[in-house]
Chain A
Amino acid sequence: SQTIHQWPATLVQPVGSPLSLECTVEGTSNPNLYWYRQAAGRGLQLLFYSVGIGQISSEVPQNLSASRPQDRQFILSSKKLLLSDSGFYLCASTPRASSSYNEQFFGPGTRLTVL
């Protein structure tokens, strides 16, 4: 099965500062990758997904961006953080090949607090 690594685990950043969250995947090649954000007590909001290197689709307009420089590396960035960017950020992976299951593998997440 796949293993998703995310870092850092927690992060406290001031408003207006930049952001870089990294996600790497083991145990699969050519996966689809996803970034989600979860506000306190809320469901998961899909932010970005990628079907391959350099291919990024944005689900929600915002001051965040994503990049996929390598097959199993997915990066979430911001040039200037807002208070509303606080939340729990999750990276997920799913095999590209046809599967009979809608199973996404999630990383441990990054808890971001913007002050």
Chain B
Amino acid sequence: LAKTTQPISMDSYEGQEVNITCSHNNIATNDYITWYQQFPSQGPRFIIQGYKTKVTNEVASLFIPADRKSSTLSLPRVSLSDTAVYYCLVAITGGGNKLTFGTGTQLKVEL
């Protein structure tokens, strides 16, 4: 499984756009990039997944450059409730995969 590197923490204010970048220099051709969100004392929750270019859903956008060696999770207009840990993972798709969660990025949103 490709190793990922992301900032340990980030701070933001309500209403701002937050971009969290993840580096995955050794990503393999068949790997997809997946992001999870975890609130305190809860299990992680799937946010978004992509292979290349841009993916957008009701929660976030994921930007992936052509070389796929990094990706950026974009959260538009964050609120206090977006305070959480965000994990970037890379793995092949398919039900039943083993996923490796790093330490993630602790996002703190303030008023």
Judging by beta carbons under 8 Å apart, are A88 and B96 in contact?
no
Residues of B within 8 A of A95 (CB): 95-96
Tell me the minimal C-beta distance from A21 to chain B in angstroms. Answer: 14
A62 at interface, CB cutoff 8 A: no
Q: Name A's interface SS.
A: loop
Residues of A within 8 A of B101 (CB): 36, 43-44
Judging by beta carbons under 8 Å apart, are A43 and B102 in contact?
yes
Judging by beta carbons under 8 Å apart, are A102 and B34 in contact?
yes
Chain B contributes a number of interface residues (CB within 8 A of A) equal to 24
Chain A, range 69-112, C-beta contacts under 8 Å to B: 88, 90, 92, 94-104, 106-109, 111
Chain A contributes a number of interface residues (CB within 8 A of B) equal to 31
Residues of B within 8 A of A94 (CB): 95-97
Judging by beta carbons under 8 Å apart, are B89 and A102 in contact?
yes
Identify B45's interface contact among A46, A49, A98, A106, CB under 8 A: A106
Identify A88's interface contact among B41, B98, B102, B104, CB under 8 A: B41
